[in-house]
Amino acid sequence: MSATAKIPRSVWMLGFVSLFMDVSSELIHSLLPVFMVTSLGASMFVVGIVEGVAEATALIVKVFSGTISDYLGKRKGLAVLGYGLGAVSKPIFALALTVHWVFVARFMDRIGKGIRGAPRDALVADLTAPEIRGAAYGLRQSLDTVGAFVGPLLAVGLMLAWAGDFRTVFWFAVIPAALSVLILIFGVQEPDTGKPRRGPTSPIQWQTLSDLGSAYWWVVTTGGIFTLARFSEAFLILRAQQLGLADTYAPFVLVLMNVVYAVSAYPLGRLADRMSHRTLLALGLVVLVASDLALAQAEGLVTVAAGVALWGLHLGMTQGLLATMVAATAPAHLRGTAFGFFNLVGGIAMLVASVLAGLLWDTLGAAVTFYTGAAFSVIALVMVGRYRRRGNV
């Protein structure tokens, strides 16, 4: 029987939940950087702050939602709350008159993402056997990413149909967001894992940190440095716009990135079940360096497209893989906390990376922004290589 056939129905449903929410979110996010710069007059530095704070919020909140899900012994309720909050935030983008409105909407949307992220990822692990976990995370990531390129495609079509009216297009994001919440409520069955194994504790309690183990903390540290190289994809859109891509077609940047991401995530997730995780992570870092160099040196849209495609490939190689590595190195009863803390570190790194990217862009230019991303990738690659030479497992 194939790995796909063994994946439980609820994991498939979680994938469709992610798919519809990503259609909603990416419909907006694929246009949002251009909307902020051209319609609301934001600078690159302001875009970096909005994107960095928003994405960091999502990642940081995950540490607490993950710990709460471990305490409750239940994941689905928190996931419903998180997806619901994301759905409620969508109309605010359509109503936004200033960057402050956008900031509030992004903040609310990402809090929702933070609440749902760690419980959902832990729920995937609860639902699947260890030998197919890489395939399960790859499948969920692929379906999630299908939504991430359908959303931008829909954005282009709606922009053409409504003559570039950003606000009208943003209203359409409410529909798939509502569908996402309904599928989660009625389509996902949570397994009975028994009573919670521990009382409520701080996620940064020393004993909790110690119980997670050194292998887990290596994954966290490497992932944090990796995230410094992965500033917001808003800068990919703005790089293409800088080199001549019209506002209406800006979402095609995310379409290209996410097509590559979606096509590669599942097969590479299956590959992660059969080969060294560190080797695959190192290859993903090499691809990210190539992407950054292409984007830094680009003088036209063809080179930008190559860089964006490589960016999508590196995501396919590494994002499901990192989730698999967290699940593999953390104790089962601390899985939610493990995903949460992994994302706490990633959130801090994402905030630093996006603000730094905006600042470098405004002061030294786009090329320096992407060269800096490549430099952080090389640092993470060195860490992976040194870890292997020490022979750690």
Top-confidence residue, 181 or 390: 181
Residue 298's pLDDT is 94
- Interval 126-165: pLDDT, tens: 888 777 777 787 777 778 778 877 898 999 999 999 988 8
Mean pLDDT of 39-58: 85
pLDDT tens across 167-207, in order?
999 999 999 999 999 999 998 887 765 555 555 555 555 56
Residue whose C-alpha is closest to residue 175's, from 150, 193, 143, 156: 150
Is 267 or 239 the better-scoring residue by pLDDT? 239
393 pLDDT tier (thresholds 50, 70, 90) = very low
Q: State pLDDT tens for residues 63-85.
A: 677 777 777 777 888 889 999 99
pLDDT in tens, 82-106: 999 999 999 999 999 899 999 999 9
pTM of the predicted model as reported, rounded to 2 decimal places: 0.72
Domains of the chain, start order: 9-189+205-389 (1.20.1250.20)
pLDDT value at residue 196:
53
278-293 pLDDT per residue, tens:
888 889 999 999 999 9
Give the separation between CA 227 and CA 318, rounded to whole angstroms.
Answer: 11
Burial of 326 (0-12, 13-18, 19+ CB in 10 A): buried
State the Cα–Cα distance between residues 233 and 254, nearest whole angstrom. 8
The pLDDT score that the predictor gives to residue 274 is 77
User: DSSP letter at 97?
Assistant: -
Nearest Cα neighbor of 49 from 36, 38, 30 is 36
Q: Following DSSP, what letter does each residue of 262-290 receive, concatenated?
A: HHHHHHHHHHHTTS-HHHHHHHHHHHHHH
- Would you tell me how many other CB atoms lie within 10 Å of the CB of residue 275? 12
φ/ψ of residue 147, rounded to 5 = -60, -35
232 phi and psi angles, rounded to 5 deg: -55, 140
pLDDT at site 116: 86
Q: Above 50 in pLDDT, residue 5?
A: no
Q: pLDDT confidence of 1, banded at 50, 70, 90?
A: very low
- Helices (DSSP H) in 30-132: which residue ranges? 32-34, 44-72, 76-95, 99-127
pLDDT at 295: 96
